[in-house]
């Protein structure tokens, strides 16, 4: 099976049950057509969803559609996202689907998503305001982000819309 490296290199390898993506070094399942962690394509001849005459450069890790370089991009030199999903904040295989300042509210939303079978994670960003232009007399600026694995983003957003939290 052919591994297409997102940085342009192509490597031929024999895939075994415990294969590793040659781009991000994450374990992938035997028979996967692309890496769910970075979007590297493992098969030949995959065409862009928007431009069927163009070879796909990667698979968007959120919508799992293949795209060419006109429709998708390598973000932060580590994951492939389509133009429509390129603005998501991502951390280690997860994307932010909601930001909040109220920890009890975000905990409740997290619980609701878990009840639906999703795997949310709360990420808290703390910035020392002394080093920023948002200085409020030495206080910290805090922001909570609700993150979900790439493969769960679309379902999480659907549920958040049903809860009235997203438009």
Burial label, 98 (beta-carbon count in 10 A; 0-12, 13-18, 19+):
buried
Element (H, E) at 108: helix 103-115
In this structure, the answer to whether residues 6 and 54 fall within a common structural domain is: yes
The SS3 call for residue 47 is strand
Q: Is residue 109 part of a domain?
A: yes
Please give the structure tokens belonging to residue 78: 């580590």
In this structure, the answer to whether residues 12 and 65 fall within a common structural domain is: yes
The SS3 call for residue 10 is strand
Tokens 């035997």 -> residue? 30
Which is more confident, 154 or 25?
Answer: 154
In this structure, the answer to whether residues 50 and 103 fall within a common structural domain is: no
pLDDT in tens, 70-119: 999 999 888 999 999 999 999 889 999 999 888 899 999 999 999 999 99
User: Could you tell me the CATH number of the domain that includes residue 100?
Assistant: 3.30.70
pLDDT at 66: 97
Rounded Cα–Cα distance for residues 16 and 142 (Å): 45
Domain that holds residue 113: 90-162
In this structure, the answer to whether residues 44 and 101 fall within a common structural domain is: no
In this structure, the answer to whether residues 16 and 77 fall within a common structural domain is: yes
Q: Is residue 132 part of a domain?
A: yes
Examine the pLDDT at 6 and tell me if it is beyond 60. no
In this structure, the answer to whether residues 43 and 112 fall within a common structural domain is: no
pLDDT at 71: 94
């Amino acid at each position: 099976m052919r591994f297409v490296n997102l940085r342009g290199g192509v490597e031929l390898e024999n895939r075994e049950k415990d294969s590793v993506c040659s781009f991000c070094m994450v374990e992938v399942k035997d028979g996967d057509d692309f890496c769910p962690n970075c979007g590297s394509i493992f098969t030949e001849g995959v065409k862009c969803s928007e431009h069927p005459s163009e070879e796909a450069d990667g698979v968007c890790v959120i919508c799992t559609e293949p795209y060419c370089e006109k429709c998708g991009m390598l973000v932060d030199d580590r994951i492939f996202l389509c133009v429509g999903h390129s603005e998501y904040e991502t951390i280690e295989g997860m994307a932010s689907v909601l930001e909040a300042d109220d920890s009890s509210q975000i905990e409740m939303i997290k619980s609701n998503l878990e009840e639906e079978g999703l795997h949310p994670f709360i990420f808290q960003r703390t910035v020392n305001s002394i080093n920023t232009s948002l200085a409020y007399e030495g206080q910290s600026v805090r922001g909570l982000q609700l993150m979900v694995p790439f493969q769960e983003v679309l379902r999480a957003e659907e549920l958040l819309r049903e809860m009235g939290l997203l438009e």
